[in-house]
Structure 1
Amino acid sequence: MSRFVDTLLETVRSLGDAKGITTGEPKAPVRHTWGQVHERALRMAGGLVAGGLRPRGAVAVLAAEPVTIAPAVQAVWLAGGSVTMLHQPTARTDLAEWAHDTVRVLNMIGSELVLLGEPFDQLAPLLDEHGIGYLKLAELGAGEPLASVVSVPEDAPALLQLTSGSTADPKAVRITHGNLYSNLTAMVESAGLDVERDIMVSWLPLFHDMGMVGFLTVPMTVGLELVKVTPVEFLGGPLVWADLISRHRGTITAAPNFAYALLGRRLSGVDSSDAYDLSSLRLALNGAEPIDEKAVGSFVEQGVRFGLRPECVFPAYGMAEVTLAVSFVPLMTGLRLDRIDASKLEAENRAVPGEGRAFAVLGKPLRGIEARIVGDSGDVLGEREVGEIQLRGEAVTPGYLTVDGPVDTQDAEGWLATGDIGYLVGGEIVICGRRKDVIILGGRNIYPTDIERAANAVEGVRAGNAVAVRIDAGSRRERFAVVVESRLAGDEAAEKALRKEVGARVFESVNARPSAVVVLAPGSLPKTPSGKLRRAAAGEQVASLVSSAE
């Protein structure tokens, strides 16, 4: 049996009735112990095995409620299968297109079964129409419980994690039981998780790796108390996040950078300092997108009014290809910035201490993970030399599943090329940006995050909704455009003034002018399911607009 499943079972035996998961907040909260979740999972697993699921079989899950998803995914693991959380359709989704894409995903992962839960059980007729097999979760646990757990080896897949981006061209990270156990135990160790005292609070989507691994699989496997709501609750009223931390005395939470910026803005409108109590937080993990010191500063400034300790801010580096977490900062050190000479970075790929640019220091790799920096010629670089980050270790996935077949992720020595550009300082990782997004102008490497931060500072631009788009990438005349969302879109005079101000701010920041500034209405920029801007998709979307604007 895998060490991961063995740990989960031991937790149920020792802590099953003591700790659990609270769902249904804020309207109808209900708590289930992990022992109760396990009992339901055993019944579901019995139904899966009786229905023909074989060891290593791939099962897709489409549900929204954490109280339903938790026993469902555990049931698949108990039955020896792997879990894939499908991307969820929204009110704006073309369902015919979604069904077509879902069929491609199922074919890619080799699955003929979807576990369907509320509210998506309404899609059953659509799945029937497209020949997609499914079982409704509400009916799955009605039979006999699984008699004995199905044993699988460490290299068996546990999660087939769909990568962020378009489901029309899907790719899944193959996370094995060995990968999951290694990263899970290293995270518990590095974050100093305390089963007796820690309470996790999360609204993160469970189809994203941070939500699925960090804020469901980890607490369910080691027995931490968890308060779990859906992204709909958070986006419908971001202050619910602060309310849950306050009422449940949450000690650990996590989100992408944009969410902390949003919460900071909402807290600024709260007059009474007694409205919330954030003093219990010891880890506010910030990951999944570049960390913006201004966004963190705004969150901390407002949070302090409600008892937040600034040192609880917990920058991290992670990716699904390493199961979840690559590096954590030391506990209670807060956001630390490495300030460097911008001209040396752009012209020489060196992170020389100085002024002009600041990057978040993201800590040392977790136990079992090695990191190195590699130059364009393949040579391993030294401290403060900038190149591609490569990773190696037990948590690194052996490969992807794609529509064209399996693809290895590691070279002959086990190294994974991440596509992230960065450097090491004192053994800690610093990320500058993504290789594919770097804009090359006159021999200078300009990072889109610098451009986007400048644009976001302009009044009228929706916070977190500015993207730098490469034009004529790789050519001698490579340029860039800036695309922003604004409520001023459609007002010709206001748009003209906004474009002028954005262009000026960007020039001040990076000493280069955008070839065009495009203003779009709110909700226009493409984003991943976790809320991150998709630069490549944005570039495709606005190509014609940029051309007409030039």
Structure 2
Amino acid sequence: MNDTINLVPHGTHKPVSTPNEDVLPRRFADFATFTEALDYAATGARGFNFHDARGTLARVYPFSELREDAIKVAHALIARGIKPNDRVALIAETGPDFAALFCGAVYAGAWPVPLPLPTSFGGKDNYIEQLAVQLDSSDPVLLVGPDEIAAMIEAAAARQGCAHAGWADFAAKDAPVVELPARSPDDICYLQYSSGSTRFPHGVAVTHRSLLSNLASHSHGMEVEPADRCISWLPWYHDMGLVGCFLSLIANQVSGDYMKTEDFARRPLAWLDMISRNQGTSISYSPTFGYDICARRISSQSAVTDRFDLSRWRLAGNGADMIRPDVMQNFVNAFAAAGFKAASFLPSYGLAEATLAVTIMPPGEGIRVELVEEERLSGAPRDLSRPARYRAIVNCGKPVRDMEVVIRGEDGTLQGDHKIGKVWCRGVSVMHSYFRDPEATAACLVDGWLDTGDMGYMAKGYLFIVGRAKDMIIINGKNHWPQDIEWAVEQLPGFNHGDIAAFSVETENGEEAPAVLVHCRVSDPEARVALRDQIRDKVRSITGMNCVVELVPPKSLPRTSSGKLSRAKAKKLYLSGEIEPFKLAA
């Protein structure tokens, strides 16, 4: 593949970004297959733009060049013996190599399987183990990844018994030009591994029809405008990054600016710099923690007004995790002086099993919350001896076009407005199946309806998400959301979102009790004991429960592939002794 920058005006060495607007008439994902969508996008001037760690434009990659490279990759894959419906596992590094390989695999009739990059957590052996589990599930013919991690790719591929290659193996290599296989709307387009800890590692099989339906529906829900541009740091192995900020841009002909996820982690404010430089209107998504880290990094209001211009940030999407209204308000407080508008927030709800989007807030309505008594959330009768406690539940918007959403009780009956139950959805973009797992597929797909595994309620056509059913902590017959316990600890000074994992454990007398693992950054033994007692008292004051508090080393709590806390894995590692708490005095 060509690594040179093509769009360079005469007399300068600075790359010129692909435009926001184009003479090519925009089509909102109304194509039969994804390859047809790329064929059309390639006739225009828009495309991808990749930025370095400081947010400086480094590589311009118009859709026309992407298609040209993807066709070459398709021929190269076929020359290597790749056949229709074979799986090709790809380490999803943000950049032109992965983009061309993903699209090339689709052109070749194979199913690309995006897999995560190594993180700073866990080390080499854990990463190889993670890859091996996903490779065992997807059974690919080939694993391809960055040359920098060739040794880990080779080790994971050897465990699975599949071939492996690096990006360089597909660069500047001529392969015989052959006729590419025809694809139909109901063919599988790719496999997506859901980041949810309760169903990992099931591969979600997404058809061309499902993909394009969802891409058309969410662009309709966001009311995409001619001058819109997407700015993203989200990883391409997660559904919000892959579908919402990569595939959607092709199918809806939107230019995009990218920085790598690891660069965002080091320099989060470079994300806002990129948004500030966009002269059109910006669409940019992030989970809650992205907004949180940016608000924490700002030192003064003068630094905000001198550096940023967020007045053209039209849609500030929020999803992929529970939306925290307090964090979002802190972001508004920090960046209103730079022109950021609270009405730009766009809460949404989705999951890989529905391709991506299920509900989206109508643009301009911002974040709306309802205060709900905790007893209602837990299903317990009102305890009149204690003052009522409330939790702010965020409105996640209305179902996207061609998607139905209902709430069902434990017995499957439909629930009315403000009645909490299991969230079910049905639509064209609901997944085909879990790959080679009919039992898991049958467990969550019933007569075309998808059991999302999440709890929520409807109110006047809007969906409110209150938590995950399988994360529920049940003590003495009463349900408790782990988020409530985690939020209680986060209110203490010195803790960040993601520092706490709450779940239930069995005590020595056989009873269930809540346990809380907390990242501890203090070294003095007496200070640790005081901190543990403070956490225990705080949780008791908010939930009325006594809990097991374990202080653990920083960065020891596990994450899913998209960076979210994995409570299920934290519990497993804690019970197996792989997470070793600090020893404290009684």
Tell me whether the two structures share a fold, i.e. TM-score over 0.5: yes
User: How large is the RMSD of aligned CA atoms in angstroms?
Assistant: 2.8
Contact 2:193–2:204 (CA under 8 A) maintained in structure 1: yes
Shift of 1:138: 2.4
Contact 1:76–1:83 (CA under 8 A) maintained in structure 2: yes
What is the alpha-carbon distance in structure 2 between the residues aligned to residue 267 and residue 453 of structure 1? 23
Shift of 1:304: 0.6
- The one-letter code sitting in structure 1 at the alignment partner of 2:185 is E
Q: Which is further off, 235-244 or 442-451?
A: 442-451
What is the alpha-carbon distance in structure 1 between the residues aligned to residue 228 and residue 360 of structure 2? 18
What is the alpha-carbon distance in structure 1 between the residues aligned to residue 176 and residue 358 of structure 2? 37
Contact 1:460–1:498 (CA under 8 A) maintained in structure 2: no
Which residue in 2 is equivalent to 1:414?
448
Which residue in 2 is equivalent to 1:508?
541
1:496 aligns with 2:529: yes
For residues 54-203 of structure 1, what are the structure 2 equivalents within 5 Å?
54-90=83-119, 93-96=122-125, 98-99=127-128, 101-121=130-150, 123=152, 126=155, 130=159, 131-141=161-171, 142-144=173-175, 148-164=179-195, 170-194=201-225, 196-203=226-233
What is the alpha-carbon distance in structure 2 between the residues aligned to residue 426 and residue 212 of structure 1? 31
Which residue in 2 is equivalent to 1:526?
558
1:371 aligns with 2:405: yes
Q: Which is further off, 246-255 or 331-340?
A: 246-255
Which residue in 1 is equivalent to 2:570?
538
Contact 2:185–2:207 (CA under 8 A) maintained in structure 1: yes
What is the alpha-carbon distance in structure 2 between the residues aligned to residue 293 and residue 101 of structure 1? 33
What is the alpha-carbon distance in structure 2 between the residues aligned to residue 85 and residue 257 of structure 1? 23
Shift of 1:231: 0.9
Q: Which is further off, 61-70 or 422-431?
A: 61-70
What is the alpha-carbon distance in structure 2 between the residues aligned to residue 18 and residue 419 of structure 1? 38
What is the alpha-carbon distance in structure 1 between the residues aligned to residue 488 and residue 129 of structure 2? 39
Distance 1:28 1:280, change over 3 A: closer
1:478 aligns with 2:499: no
Which residue in 2 is equivalent to 1:427?
461
Contact 1:19–1:34 (CA under 8 A) maintained in structure 2: yes
Contact 1:2–1:151 (CA under 8 A) maintained in structure 2: no
Distance 1:427 1:393, change over 3 A: same
1:407-433 deviation line (CA, Å, top 9, x unaligned): 446544211111111111111111111
Distance 1:267 1:79, change over 3 A: same
Shift of 1:312: 0.7
- The one-letter code sitting in structure 1 at the alignment partner of 2:163 is G
Distance 1:83 1:114, change over 3 A: same
What is the alpha-carbon distance in structure 1 between the residues aligned to residue 538 and residue 100 of structure 2? 50
Structure 2 counterpart of 1:263, from 291, 294, 299: 294
What is the alpha-carbon distance in structure 2 between the residues aligned to residue 530 and residue 514 of structure 1? 32
Which residue in 2 is equivalent to 1:239?
269
Shift of 1:50: 2.3
Contact 1:63–1:120 (CA under 8 A) maintained in structure 2: no
What is the alpha-carbon distance in structure 2 between the residues aligned to residue 260 and residue 231 of structure 1? 14
Shift of 1:283: 1.0
- The one-letter code sitting in structure 2 at the alignment partner of 1:457 is Q
Shift of 1:92: 5.3
- The one-letter code sitting in structure 1 at the alignment partner of 2:165 is L
What is the alpha-carbon distance in structure 2 between the residues aligned to residue 349 and residue 277 of structure 1? 49
Contact 1:397–1:409 (CA under 8 A) maintained in structure 2: no
Which residue in 2 is equivalent to 1:21?
49
Distance 1:154 1:349, change over 3 A: farther
Which residue in 2 is equivalent to 1:208?
238
Shift of 1:269: 4.7
Contact 1:170–1:402 (CA under 8 A) maintained in structure 2: no
* Local SS of the residue matching 2:298: helix
Q: Which is further off, 83-92 or 145-154?
A: 145-154
1:461-506 deviation line (CA, Å, top 9, x unaligned): 2343122121239x99332022211312x32222222222222322
For residues 338-487 of structure 1, what are the structure 2 equivalents within 5 Å?
338-347=370-379, 356-401=390-435, 407-408=441-442, 411-472=445-506, 477-487=511-521
What is the alpha-carbon distance in structure 1 between the residues aligned to residue 566 and residue 206 of structure 2? 24
What is the alpha-carbon distance in structure 2 between the residues aligned to residue 288 and residue 128 of structure 1? 30
Contact 1:59–1:111 (CA under 8 A) maintained in structure 2: yes
Shift of 1:435: 0.8
Which residue in 1 is equivalent to 2:64?
35
What is the alpha-carbon distance in structure 2 between the residues aligned to residue 547 and residue 27 of structure 1? 43
1:67-111 deviation line (CA, Å, top 9, x unaligned): 211111111111112111122234555545544553443343231
Q: Which is further off, 407-416 or 446-455?
A: 407-416
Quick one: percent identity of the two aligned structures? 29
Distance 1:167 1:425, change over 3 A: closer
- The one-letter code sitting in structure 2 at the alignment partner of 1:539 is K
Distance 1:319 1:177, change over 3 A: same
Distance 1:518 1:410, change over 3 A: closer
Distance 1:128 1:445, change over 3 A: closer
Contact 2:77–2:105 (CA under 8 A) maintained in structure 1: yes
Which residue in 1 is equivalent to 2:342?
310
Distance 1:65 1:546, change over 3 A: closer
- The one-letter code sitting in structure 1 at the alignment partner of 2:533 is K
1:418-469 deviation line (CA, Å, top 9, x unaligned): 1111111111111111111122234432211111111101013234312212
Distance 1:445 1:330, change over 3 A: same
* Local SS of the residue matching 2:36: helix
Q: Which is further off, 144-153 or 336-345?
A: 144-153
Q: Which is further off, 464-473 or 65-74?
A: 464-473
* Local SS of the residue matching 2:467: strand
Which residue in 2 is equivalent to 1:226?
256
Contact 1:349–1:385 (CA under 8 A) maintained in structure 2: no
Contact 1:374–1:387 (CA under 8 A) maintained in structure 2: yes
Shift of 1:340: 2.0
Query: Number of paired residues?
Result: 541
What is the alpha-carbon distance in structure 2 between the residues aligned to residue 493 and residue 245 of structure 1? 46
Q: Which is further off, 167-176 or 277-286?
A: 167-176
Q: Which is further off, 461-470 or 282-291?
A: 461-470
Shift of 1:122: 5.0
Q: Which is further off, 446-455 or 406-415?
A: 406-415
1:6-65 deviation line (CA, Å, top 9, x unaligned): 22222222x2x2444334353562212111111111111111122222222211112524
- The one-letter code sitting in structure 2 at the alignment partner of 1:151 is A
Distance 1:128 1:80, change over 3 A: closer
1:105-129 deviation line (CA, Å, top 9, x unaligned): 3343231112233433454653675
1:209-249 deviation line (CA, Å, top 9, x unaligned): 11111111111222211111111101111111111111234
Distance 1:516 1:221, change over 3 A: same
Distance 1:129 1:281, change over 3 A: same
Shift of 1:363: 0.8
Q: Which is further off, 22-31 or 205-214?
A: 22-31
